[in-house]
Structure 1
C-alpha cells in the first residue's frame, strides 16, 4: 500500500535519472524502453536496481505500466513538465522551416504576435 508520505517524497537523483531517461526515450521512439535499455542508458550494470527505481516511480505516481508485457511503461500527468515557448525555440523552428530571412514581414508579424501573446497570458 502506498502512503501519502511516499507519494509526496521528492525523487532521488537516480530516480530522476531513470524518469528523465524514460521520458526522453518515449519522446524519441514512441514506445517505452525495457529495463535493460534503461540500465544501459543511465550506465547501471544492475537491471534489478533499475527495476527497483522504476517500481518507486510507479508507486510515487510518475509512471504506470501494464502487466504481462515489455515496453508497457507510460508517463503520468504528475511527472510531465509544461512546455515552454522560448525565443530560441521559435527561432530554431523558423530555421527548421527553411525561412532564412528573419526580416520577412510575415515572420516579424508572427514573432510580434507570439511575444504579445506570451506577455498578455493568452499563450502560456
Structure 2
C-alpha cells in the first residue's frame, strides 16, 4: 500500500482509543504518557501492540515524537478535536472552587446542585 493511501485510511477503533487516551492524558497532565501507561489506560496487556498503534498514528500524522526520550509524544493539528467537558472535569472544577468556602449563597447553591445532579445521574 502506498504512503498516501496509508495516510488517508481512517483510524481503526484501537488506534482511536490510543489517540483519545494520549490526548486526554496530555490535557490532564501537561505531558505525554508512556507506552506502558497507554497500555494500562486502554486495558491492553501488550506494550508492543500499543507501540504498533502509536507508530501508525505517527505515520498517519496524528502524533509526533522526539527520538531518544520517554514522554515525547505530541498531538498534531490533524487529530485535534474541540475540548469536551466531562463529568470528571466538572467535578474537579467544582472541588477546585472550594464550594465549602464560598460565602455567596447563590454560587454555593448552583455548584452544589450541579455536583448533586452529576452524582445522581441526572446530568450525563
Gaps of 5+ in 2: 86-92, 108-124
TM-align CA RMSD: 2.6
Q: Residue 90 of structure 1 aligns with which residue?
A: none
Q: Residue 15 of structure 1 aligns with which residue?
A: 15
**Which 4+ residue blocks in structure 1 deviate beyond 2 angstroms?**
82-85, 96-102
Number of residue pairs matched by the alignment:
96
Task: For 1:1-124, list aligned pairs within 5 A.
Answer: 3-83=3-83, 101=106
Query: TM-score with structure 1 length normalisation?
Result: 0.67
Query: TM-score with structure 2 length normalisation?
Result: 0.67
Gaps of 5+ in 1: 86-92, 103-124
The structure carrying a bigger helix percent of its residues is 2
User: Deviations for 1:29-87, whole angstroms, at most 9, x for unmatched residues?
Assistant: 000000000001001010000000000000000000000000000000000013479xx
2:78 is paired with a residue of what secondary structure? coil
Higher alpha-carbon Rg: 1
